Amino acid sequence: MRKIITLTLILLGFAVLTSQAQKVEIKSVTFEVNMHCQSCKAKIERDIVFEKGVKEVEATLDKKLVTIKYDATKTDPDKIARAIEKLGYTAKVVETKQKD
């Protein structure tokens, strides 16, 4: 009986984890950011990746663009923009995309 209960709990736990994993909604947003140098680029790439829901950060210094892939169930472009602004930069959305 104890083995059956343990097995049932394990299966329920697996079902919960599987259903949570399916709720990921990856999107992409590109910001125009007032980066001035390589240090600015590195700071943004290093720090924004730790924001909740952020999956990937790519900054392009010559175009002053930052593209971020994120889980839309955990964050949104407004929250990400505020995080960039907390680092001391301006952030204006120039493009958003739904990822496949």
pLDDT in tens, 8-57: 767 776 666 655 556 789 999 999 999 999 999 999 999 999 999 999 99
- Residue 22, pLDDT score: 61
Q: Which of 12-16, 29-33, 62-66, 87-91 has the lowest mean pLDDT?
A: 12-16
Confidence (pLDDT) at 80: 98
Contacts of 61 (CB under 8 A, 6+ apart): 35, 37, 38, 40, 41
Rounded CA separation 49/5 (Å): 40
Sheet strand arrangement including 91-98? 54-60, 65-71, 26-33, 91-98
3-state secondary structure of 88: coil
What residue ranges define each of the domains in the chain, with the CATH number in brackets? 24-98 (3.30.70.100)
pTM score: 0.75
